Structure 1
Amino acid sequence: MGISLSGITHAGQNLRKPVLLTLLGVCIEIEVVIASFILSEVWREWGRGLFGSTKIYHQWHQGNSLLGLFGSLILVLGVTSFSRKLRISRAALNWVYVAGGFLIILKSFDVVNTVFVDYMDRLFESYPDMDSFINNLLILCGCLTVLVGLMWAMYDISRLNITLSEQNAQLDREMQERSDTESRLSVQEKRLSSILQALPSPVFLLNIDGFILAHNKFFALLWGRGEENLVGLHLRQVLPEALFERGKSFSMRVFERNAPENYVVNISNRTYEINTYPTMDEEGNVPSITVLALDITDKLRGEEERRLLQEAVNSAAESIIIVDETGLIEYVNPAFEEQSGYSRKEVQGQLYNLMHSEALDEALIQEIKDTLEQGKSWRGRLISQKKDGALMYETATISPITNQDGVIKHYVSVKRNITRELQLEQQLQQAQKLEALGTMAGGITHNLNNVLAIILGRSELGAQMLEAENPARENFEIIMRTAARSSDMIKRLLTFSRKQAGGMKPVEVAPLIREQLSLMRNYLPSNITILEAILLDKEIIIADAVELQQAFVNLINNANYAMQPEGGELEIGLDKVCIDNELLATTGMLSPGDYVRLRVRDTGCGMDSDTQMRMFDPFFTTKAADEGTGLGLPMVHGSVLRAGGQIQVESAPGKGTEISLYLPAAEETARGIEEASLEMPVSGRGITVMVVDDMADFSDLLTMNLEYFGFEVCSFSDPEEAMAFFSDNPDMVKVAVLDYMMPGMNGKDLGAALKNIRPGLPLVLLSGYACGITNENARDFGFSAMFDKPVEISTLARMLASLVSQS
């Protein structure tokens, strides 16, 4: 209501002037009517007697008419203005105009009439009487017209009052709504201002001319303006010039395209992403833009850390597997693909246990589940199965991954393939066993060889002293063969337990294998079918021919045993292979290069994994006690290793066995096959031999046998006595035979002492112990030759005669 009263007061002030004009016009008209009436009555009563003449009367009447015209004009102006101020309807306003027009016409006619009368007086010198009826009629019409217009106006005013009341009420409502809207807008403005100030990132509004319309405190702080109000400043006054020019180009594109833009800038060693958005009005125009600067330094650093983590995971040598809480695989790294043979697509969405080997027992699986359900990490060894079915031994760490609420949502498994390490560990254990066996063998074989040497030497001497037809000679030969087999057994024991190589020479593999296979055909039973696949002819390897031949025989014997009693197929293969990358064989790693591969495959019973793990252990055998010694495969293993090769075993129960020997192929320049020399009769006449051995029986045996071949022998059991004798007679001795293992001074040291006295003295070393000296490296220690005990006297005699003749 306060608003409507204010409006009425204001309206009253505006109506004051029209009302005054109207009252003034009414007063003039009343005065004119009264004056006209008085003049008419006076003229009627007194006529010219009072006025003196008609002319004076008409002049007075004319002046009164002019005054009436002036009053009517003022009255019409006041009424018209008053009607307009009241904002009456157009129809009522037209009636006011018509009434005012009649009044003015009436007054004008009255003036014309007085002028006409005055004109007629001047023209005819007479004054016609004015028509009072017409004047009165006109006055009546004018008044009626004004009365109708005023009544209409009053009626319209009453309606206007009603309408004005309604409009005032509507105006009150609109003003109240406007007030409420302004209040809401004020609250929203404060809320938006609070939100703007609460934003942790710099934000500001900019018009198209580049002036700042609004901003938050962080925008001012970013540019070192503290709490300063930057509204109204041009953006160029706030930003560095280079940054302003760059931002200007992006901002203009936002205004032109009505689409967001963003770019990255560096400010004070921090990286910001500038996001510019158009701010549209109701008509779809873009009067301003909103600019938000997001500090993405930590985000970029986090992305870089995640990238490095991803690269680390992808580059890790360990298999990394992430599964969800149901056990479905979500992620595997490249190491998993390489080691397992499965691709990422093949395992994603599959259960994690797809790689579990049947070798895992239920107790271990349950242990893993119980540990993980407690929120702890499980660590241990697992046996996994590759895509090709091969087993893989791994050390695994499986850990639960929880969300923010502590609920387990994922599991991560980090596994390292230790198959090669286990094989290397087994090889180390094998080597340690061999070393222990060698130590043990070295401690007993010396005495055994000495005993066998006496048995063999006495038997050989006895056989030579008998006639060929003498029946007792056969007994000596049996003793000799038995001693030779025993000696061979001891040599085999020493061979695979030695760390150094034996008689390594260039060997043509194919002729050796063909020859031995030809002999074995007669030995193998008829239920064995031999398949020969020898694809080489003159390929050379560096190996001990005897060891290689014995290794081949051992593999044939084992294959035959595995196929009995049903029999089967025995395939012998010999070919050349080229290995481009490192290959993990059963017994170790094969370096890249060319290899001669000797394969022995049978269709026998095969071997389980436990047997394969122990097949190269000394004295391990699956044969009956009277059928095997457990030294065959260990000897094969040792022979191949000494030749620089490795062994690959593929076997499964009921599927047979295939053993491949990979032996490094030698260069063509190594082709130096020694031709067997024809045996010549031995004669030791004129040759004095010094024999030094602490075992008297063997020394006596050696003396007797060498004397049988014509040698003159000086025998000593004490190295010191031998040294004293040689010092006195250095030129008498042509060649010396020394035992290695002697008390006080071993054969190597005694030989060095003899060489100091006579450097050109030929020396031959005998040993029943693995002393580290072989026939190949004997010259490095000052010896011309080396023989293992027991030795054939004829061979030794031939060597002694040869050395003396060469010297």
Structure 2
Amino acid sequence: MNKTSANAAIINDVLVLYELSLAIGTALEPQKNCEGFLNILQARKNIPQAAVWVRPELLSAGSGSELTLLYANPRRSFNAHDLQDVMHPFARVAGSQRPLLIEADSIEAGMIRGERSPAVGTFILYPLAQLGVLELYSTSTSLSARSVNQLKSVVDKFAASLTGSLSHARLQQAEALLKRSEQKYRTLVENLPQRFFIKDINSHYISCSKNYADDLGTTPEALVGRNDHDFFPAYIAEAFQRDDKRIMSRGTTEDIDEIIVFDGEERLIHTVKAPARDEKGQITGVLGMFWDVTEQKKAREQMARLVASVEHAQDAIIISDLDSRMLYVNPAFESMTGFSAAEAVGLYTKIMRSGRHPRSFYVEMLETVRQGNVWRGEMIIKCKDGSFRYVERNVAPVLDESGNIICQVNIQRDITEHKKMEEQLLQSQKMESLGTLVGGVAHEFNNALAGMTGRLFLLKSKTSALPSALYDIEMVEQLCFRSADMVRQMLAFARKSPLQKKDVDLTAFVKETFKLHRLSIPENIDLHTAFAAQSLPVHGDVTQIQQIVINLLNNARDAVSEKQHPEITLEISAFTPDAAFLEAHPEGGGRSYAHLTVSDNGCGISEKKLQHIFDPFYTTKEVGKGTGLGLSMVYGACAMHGGYVDVVSSQGTGTSMHVYLPLLETEIRKASAAFMRAVAGQGETVLLVDDEEMLRSKGKAVLEALGYVVLEAPDGLQAVEMFAAHQHDIRLVLM
């Protein structure tokens, strides 16, 4: 090359460098910066390929040892080189910070491109300070060190310019992220129901949420620089500022509940205040957030009342899922069933099934609820201890906002005592009805018997000379007396027979009655007695009390007739009502009783028959062995004495009859016995009053047979008139 050509080449190189220098920094955007510089370089230096590789953290693409492709002309797909591979050309250039020439057909060239490299030419790698590597490919195979070094200075300037571009890009990116973040949080704050504010160290507002400014009737911009005195009454503003000062002085966050008046209504406000700090941790003011919790408080109070009501409810409450698995039970459930909440929750309600209802009963209940209806009914449940209780149960579905059934609520009330009282009432009403019927029949029957016995009395006096007829008359008379005895028992049941009460030592009386009746009990029966040591005074009719003892002993005798080792026990003792007695007889408290018990080990009575044993004419004995009036008489006699009769029986084991008669509070006075005897008349006048003509006729005949003069009156009015007319003659009035 001659001197002229050499000078021209130098001038050309200088012009290229000058042009490249002018292209550096013409654009802030990194890719545009690269494009402006490399387009000139590629055009002036015959470089068909160029690429800029930078560290990933400079592009906010993370961190690592691989270089990331920032710019390439022409574009390429291979975009990473690992600097940890010390043999990699990029690693060597980045480490030495000096340019590196690599033949295109070498192995190292393949490491640069990662794809088929050009067959001829040279790769020139320049360090870009701490940014990365500039990769150039030239078709020339004879590049001089001088030409490579000439570009080094301008490449260094490009690296400095690119540093600025990348920093600017990162700043723009950070600003965009910050703006998006601010917008995101601003959107969040503006759409939350809570109110937000920031105050400076003097409690002047710096910023606030729009909803808070709306509440104060202003805008967030207009609120800046103002304080609480501009919007609230003095006492509220001063309280707010005292809170601010306390929080800033302590440097702690506080939760504050306070009541303010808003639109004339008291509202409960919950506020959270915290100290605001700068980047050095110095307190610069107060951050605040508050919201109206009035409705939440009301809801909590309502929920608390609801929970307390459920917890203290006397009815058992069960919440279960659609398969009847229990999710919650209240304390009343625990008391009623004996199952604790810990035991019951998670189990199915069928643990309370008593076996007294068919499967269809429970299926119908479940289907009713699943159809969205309320099931109501009575049922028997089985408790943990095996006992049974009557309950009234309501089962209702619970719906969500969409109308779907989410669970069911069971409310069950224990009606066991109610059922017992209902049964007692029904029994009482039945006995009262039967008593009315039996009393009416017995009264009419008694009148007929009275007429018959009177006529038989007269007939006997007329047939004294006919022994065979007199025998028949006496047999009929005995049948009448037997029938009269049945009538007395019927009237005792109906509580319509007249009582002749007096004070009686029941202990002594039962002893005497037992002695008299002992002979009627077969000797093969073991008799046991247990009589109270003290006297038990009662006020009663000795005939009825005696009949009570005799009837109970007779029933016990008949009950053990088929037993191999029959036993009967007669006991009498003082009794003070206990809980079991008062449960059966709530009105029987406040007094003591004489307790008479007759027990046997006989055949017992079935539960079904127990319901009828006090019914008149009901008997469990064989035909011809009982009238069915014995226990009816006992029941009626006890009731007429203000007492009670209970029965405890188990079929195949035996029966115990318990009679309770009220005790007197004073000792029995001993009285002399008085005896009555019939006295024949001597023409005295007797006024006989009765509305039954047959009875008047019979009575008149008997009295006249005894030597009396008889005046008759069919009713009270005529009796008064007749007595007024014959008052000096009448010696006796029979009514």
Give your verdict on TM over 0.5.
yes
Change (3 A) 1:318 1:662: farther
Match in the other structure for 1:633:
631
Scaled by the length of structure 2, what TM-score is found?
0.68
What does 1:156-195 align with in structure 2 at a 5 Å threshold? 165-195=158-188
After superposition, what is the alpha-carbon deviation per residue over 1:306-346, rounded to whole angstroms, capped at 9, x for unaligned?
33333433454433233334434343344444444555455
Choose which of 263, 267, 273 in structure 1 pairs with 2:260. Answer: 267
Q: Give, in angstroms, the shift of residue 489 of structure 1.
A: 1.6
Map Cα deviations across residues 57-102 of structure 1 (whole Å, 9 max, x no partner): xxxxxxxxxxxxxxxxxxxxxxxxxxxxxxxxxxxxxxxxxxxxxx
Residue 594 of structure 1 corresponds to 592
- Does the alignment pair 1:216 with 2:209? yes
- Checking the alignment, whether the CA contact within 8 Å between 1:433 and 1:618 is kept in structure 2 is no
Q: What is the rounded CA distance, in whole Å, between the counterparts of 1:282 and 1:529 in structure 2?
A: 107
Which position in structure 2 is the counterpart of 1:553? Answer: 550
Q: 1:595 to 1:455 in 2, by over 3 A?
A: same
Q: 2:485 pairs with 482, 485, 488, which one?
A: 488
Determine which of 301, 305, 325 is the counterpart of 1:304: 301
Q: Larger strand proportion, structure 1 or 2?
A: 2
Provide the rounded CA distance (Å) in 2 between the counterparts of 1:255 and 1:664. 84
In the alignment, what sits opposite 1:706?
703
Other-structure match for 1:622: 620
How far apart are 1:217 and its partner, in Å? 3.3
Matched, 1:514 2:514: no
Structure 1 Cα separation of the partners of residues 648 and 386 of structure 2: 13
Residue 318, structure 1, aligned to residue 315, structure 2: yes
Which of 420-429 and 446-455 deviates more?
Answer: 420-429
Of 197, 206, 215, the residue aligned with 2:199 is 206
Residues 397 and 413, structure 1, Cα contact 8 Å, conserved in 2:
yes
Q: 1:581 to 1:278 in 2, by over 3 A?
A: farther
Distance 1:648 1:248, change over 3 A: farther
- Report the CA distance shift for 1:473/1:421 in structure 2 as closer, same or farther (over 3 A): farther
Shift of residue 295, structure 1, vs aligned partner:
2.2
Shift in alpha-carbon separation, 1:415–1:171, aligned structure 2, 3 A:
same
Which residue of the partner structure matches residue 426 of structure 1?
423
> Closer, same or farther in 2 for the Cα pair 1:512/1:340, shift >3 Å?
farther
Matches within 5 A, 1:382-781: 382-387=379-384, 389-404=386-401, 408-459=405-456, 478-498=475-495, 502-503=499-500, 505-526=502-523, 528-535=525-532, 537-566=534-563, 567-579=565-577, 585-586=583-584, 590-591=588-589, 593-668=591-666, 671=668, 676-679=673-676, 682=679, 684-685=681-682, 687-707=684-704, 711-717=708-714, 722-738=719-735
| Alignment partner of 1:332 out of 317, 329, 332 | 329
CA shift, 1:691, in A, is: 0.8
Measured after TM superposition, the shift of residue 666 of structure 1 is: 3.5
- Change in CA separation of 1:447 and 1:663 when aligned onto 2, cut-off 3 Å: closer
Asked whether 1:377 is paired with 2:364, we answer no
Provide the rounded CA distance (Å) in 2 between the counterparts of 1:536 and 1:298.
74
Which AA in structure 2 matches 1:615?
Answer: I
For each residue in 1:132-191, what CA deviation from the matched residue of structure 2 results, as whole angstroms up to 9, or x when unmatched?
A: xxxxxxxxxxxxxxxxxxxxxxxxxx9997655434322222222112211221122122
Match of 1:149 in 2: none
Q: 1:233 to 1:658 in 2, by over 3 A?
A: farther
- 1:293 maps to a residue whose letter is F
What SS does the corresponding residue of 1:175 show, helix, strand or coil? Answer: helix
Gaps of 5+ in 1: 8-157, 739-807
Give me the whole-angstrom Cα distance separating, in 1, the residues matched to 2:533 and 2:353.
Answer: 43
Counterpart-to-counterpart distance in 1, 2:331 and 2:498 = 42
Gap regions ≥5 residues in structure 2: 1-21, 29-150
Instruction: Describe the superposition over 1:731-775 as per-residue Cα deviations: whole angstroms up to 9, x where unpaired.
Output: 22132112xxxxxxxxxxxxxxxxxxxxxxxxxxxxxxxxxxxxx
Question: Compared with structure 1, are the counterparts of its residues 308 and 549 closer, same or farther at alpha carbon in structure 2 (3 Å cutoff)?
Answer: farther
Q: Which residue number corresponds to residue 233 of structure 1?
A: 226
The amino acid across from 2:480 in the alignment is A
* 1:480–1:199 distance in 2 versus 1, CA, 3 Å: same
1:357 aligns with 2:348: no
For the Cα contact (< 8 Å) 2:228–2:240, is it kept in 1? no
Paired letter, 1:538: S
What is the distance in 1 between the residues matched to 2:399 and 2:329? 19
Q: Distance in 2 between matches of 1:500 and 1:277?
A: 94
| Change in 2 beyond 3 A, CA 1:315/1:706 | farther
- The amino acid of 2:727's aligned partner reads P
Letter of the 2:269 counterpart: Y
1:632 deviation in Å?
3.2
Give 1:714's aligned amino acid. Answer: L
Q: Which residue of 2 aligns with 1:45?
A: none
Instruction: Quote how far apart the aligned CAs of 1:716 are.
Output: 4.3
CA distance in 2, matches of 1:3, 1:504: 138
SS of match in other structure, 2:362: helix
2:648/2:655 contact within 8 Å kept: yes
Higher helix share: 1
Q: How many residues align?
A: 586
> What displacement does 1:709 show?
5.0
AA matched with 1:661: V
Report the CA distance shift for 1:521/1:724 in structure 2 as closer, same or farther (over 3 A): closer
State the 1:668 CA deviation.
2.3
Counterparts of 2:283 and 2:614 in 1: how far apart (Å)?
A: 87
- Note closer, same or farther for the CA distance 1:444–1:617 as it changes in structure 2 (3 Å cut): closer
Mapping of residues 112-191 of structure 1, within 5 Å: 165-191=158-184
In the TM superposition, residue 627 of structure 1 has moved relative to its aligned partner by 2.8
Distance 2:508 2:24 in 1: 129
The residue number in structure 1 matching 2:134 is: none
Cα deviation, residue 456, structure 1: 3.0
**How far apart are the structure 2 equivalents of 1:634 and 1:173?**
115
With the length of structure 1 as denominator, give the TM-score of the two structures. Answer: 0.63
Deviation string, structure 1 residues 548-570 (Cα, Å, up to 9, x no partner): 43334333344444444125444
Aligned-pair CA distance for 1:437: 3.1
For 1:460 and 1:388, the matched residues in 2 are separated by 67
- Amino acid aligned to 1:638: G
Cα offset, 1:270, TM superposition: 1.7
Give me the whole-angstrom Cα distance separating, in 2, the residues matched to 1:404 and 1:458: 90
Provide the C-alpha distance between the structure 1 equivalents of 2:23 and 2:296, rounded to a whole number of angstroms: 60
Provide closer, same or farther for how the CA distance between residues 605 and 681 of structure 1 changes in structure 2, counting only shifts above 3 A: closer
* Contact in 2 for aligned 1:582/1:592 (Cα 8 Å): no
- Change beyond 3 A, Cα 1:492–1:228: farther
Distance between the aligned counterparts of 1:215 and 1:568, measured in 2?
A: 100
1:366 counterpart letter in structure 2: V
Task: Assess if the C-alpha contact under 8 Å between 2:446 and 2:484 holds in 1.
Answer: yes
